[in-house]
């Protein structure tokens, strides 16, 4: 474990974190998704809207932010999205730490299930989440207003907590 990672705290973000969250998500997703999409993944306005509807858990050391995940409770279910780890720290275990913290956070709020959407072109994500206990539950169309370099859709996955 790097000294950066061992100094990382996982906490609930505030609106003051919105700019750092936006930069982190776009940096992480640009690496992962550039083969099928050219646009930024998110903008500051959308991050602020998400902060009004749900929470971001962030991994940081009060100076630098290295990871985040979005959670939105919907009854006894929670939508989880935008799991992002700084590209320089991917494969370090921070994504798993964020997922563990997210699951604990959801359980503490009496969620029974966590629901996620993965892009069909990112087959490695189904394996990653499958190892964490998520199962495929269906598909959802990809938004028409986002230009992609290849046809795709979302693969819906859920995990019982």
Q: Is the predicted pLDDT of residue 34 greater than 90, yes or no? A: no
Round the average pLDDT of the chain to a whole number and report it.
92
Check: CB of residue 142 under 8 Å from CB of residue 153.
yes
Check: CB of residue 97 under 8 Å from CB of residue 128.
no
Which pLDDT band, with edges at 50, 70 and 90, does 122 fall under?
Answer: very high
Structural domains of the chain, ranges and CATH numbers in brackets: 3-116 (3.40.630.30)
Give residue 39's pLDDT: 85
Give residue 1's pLDDT: 43
Sign of the torsion angle spanned by Cα atoms 157, 123, 2, 34: negative
- In tens, the pLDDT along 105-114 reads 999 999 999 9
What are the CA-CA distances from residue 23 to residues 67, 79, 85 (Å)? 11, 22, 11
Which pLDDT band, with edges at 50, 70 and 90, does 145 fall under?
Answer: confident
């Amino acid at each position: 474990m790097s000294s950066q990672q061992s100094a990382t705290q996982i906490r609930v973000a505030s609106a003051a974190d919105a700019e750092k969250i936006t930069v982190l998500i776009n940096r992480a997703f640009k690496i992962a998704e550039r083969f099928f999409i050219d646009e930024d993944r998110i903008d500051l306005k959308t991050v602020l809207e998400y902060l009004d509807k749900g929470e971001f858990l962030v991994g940081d050391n009060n100076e630098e932010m290295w990871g985040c995940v979005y959670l939105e409770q919907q009854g006894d279910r929670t939508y989880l999205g935008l799991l992002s780890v700084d590209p320089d720290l991917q494969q370090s275990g921070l994504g798993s730490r964020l997922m563990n913290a997210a699951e604990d956070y959801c359980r503490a709020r009496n969620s029974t299930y966590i629901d996620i959407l993965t892009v069909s072109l990112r087959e490695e994500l189904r394996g990653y989440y499958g190892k964490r206990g998520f199962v495929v539950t269906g598909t959802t169309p990809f938004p028409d207003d986002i230009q992609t370099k290849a046809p795709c859709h979302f693969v819906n996955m859920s995990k019982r907590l």
